[in-house]
Amino acid sequence: MADRKAAQTIAAAHGVAQDAAFGAVIPPIHLSTTFQFPGFERAGPYDYSRLGNPTRDQVADTIAKLEGGARAVMLASGMAALDLALSSLLPGDLLLAPHDCYGGTHRLLSLRSARGHYRVAFVDQTDREALSAAFAGKPKLVLTETPSNPLMRVVDIRDMAERARAVGARLVVDNTFLSPALQQPIALGADLVVHSTTKYLNGHSDVIGGAVVAAEAALGEELAAWANTIGVTGSPFDAYLTLRGIRTLFVRIERQERNAAAVAACLAAHPRVGRVYYPGLATHPGHETAKAQQSGFGAMLSFELTGGREAVRALVEALQVFTLAESLGGVESLIAHPATMTHAAMDPAARATAGITDGLLRLSIGLEAEDDLLRDLGRGLDAVARR
């Protein structure tokens, strides 16, 4: 595993000044779909870009190094990355998944299990008794999302890895909310790490992409071969932009986290705000676990607004700096209403079980001036009070 300083250098400079053709400092982009064979029955390092592409390999290698894994596969989206990471499951196999995962993940697992591709058990992974009962069902694969989307529940990765190992299951961790700058699940025992690179890794809200990082090379090769077979590898142009985003990952996330801590403290003190879900707050139930396994608390948080949907409407309509939009991890601050946006695909009963209420709002904190963010939320909360 790369230590933090080494990881910063990898993010900023891995692959820089390696161009043998022209001495380009920045790795060039290779958009060619196909590559010349040096001779009959003689293959070069690349033949066809669905299978392999130098630009995609450059970003994959950088992400693998940042995560401390052996091999990464770049996919067309985070959903493709999740589906690939779960592709070893066969009919009858049990997948243990978090009950409050990203809504698209919940939809993917529900539909695959409805079609008989595998069985899924959604469990509150912070509930030790529920977890023990679920592990008694002998899952083949365990999926963890920590912190979870949108309620920021923190799961002890080392504990999950030990439980998984004890039943011969693989552990997959969705590290989208923190990025390798703040959490490296492989060092804590995960077999696979999944990213929606759409979020912090790219960081500029202009690429949809995903990555799967394997701790072991053999599993990585297997997944790369399957990604080629089903045709879900990412585009070279997206890979180029994602690598460009990764160059500034550490400085972005550190600054975004500072803003998020200020926003969380401000919301926690506000009378119109119910609970604030931010692992950096000492009152958060996952605070100690987050401190132990993360190198920062990140820049995502959510909170309950008293007054339900109408209060939500008043708040979001008054905002001028935050944009009402899905997604997260970009340089700009976004606000989302999970019940009607990111988690609308979940059926209302599953949403209620997960704790996603109509008054819940999720914030992705960007790089704007802290004062502007606090003033904007103050404006929104004043509008709620004036209703």
Where on the chain is the footprint of ligand PLP (CB under 6 A)? 77-79, 102, 104-105, 145, 149, 174, 176-177, 196, 198, 208, 210
Distance of alpha carbon 214 from alpha carbon 67, whole angstroms: 9
In the complex with ligand PLP, the residue whose CB is nearer, 152 or 384, is 152
Spatial CA neighbour of 361 closest among 293, 295, 314: 314
In the complex with ligand PLP, the residue whose CB is nearer, 66 or 208, is 208
Least distance to ligand PLP from the beta carbon of 177, Å? 6
47 is catalytic: no
5 is catalytic: no
Least distance to ligand PLP from the beta carbon of 197, Å? 7
Name the residue whose CB lies closest to ligand PLP.
78
50 is catalytic: yes
SS3 of 133-178: the string is HHHHCCCCEEEEECCCCCCCCCCCHHHHHHHHHHCCCEEEEECCCC
H/E element, 383: helix 370-386
Least distance to ligand PLP from the beta carbon of 196, Å? 3
In the complex with ligand PLP, the residue whose CB is nearer, 177 or 297, is 177
Least distance to ligand PLP from the beta carbon of 191, Å? 17
Least distance to ligand PLP from the beta carbon of 209, Å? 6
In the complex with ligand PLP, the residue whose CB is nearer, 232 or 316, is 232
Least distance to ligand PLP from the beta carbon of 317, Å? 24
In the complex with ligand PLP, the residue whose CB is nearer, 104 or 366, is 104
Out of 57, 100, 174, 238, the active site residue is 174
Distance of alpha carbon 26 from alpha carbon 29, whole angstroms: 9
Out of 56, 65, 71, 102, the active site residue is 102
Residue 111 phi/psi, 5-degree rounding, is -70, -40
199 is catalytic: yes
In the complex with ligand PLP, the residue whose CB is nearer, 8 or 323, is 323
Out of 56, 119, 170, 199, the active site residue is 199
* Ramachandran sector of residue 15 (left: φ over 0; alpha: ψ -120 to 50; beta: rest): left
250 in Cβ contact with 181 (< 8 Å) = yes
Strand order in the sheet with 360-364: 273-277, 300-305, 360-364, 334-336, 323-324
Buried b or exposed e, range 131-149, using 16+ CB within 10 angstroms: beebbeeebbbbbbbbbbb
Catalytic residues: 50, 102, 174, 199
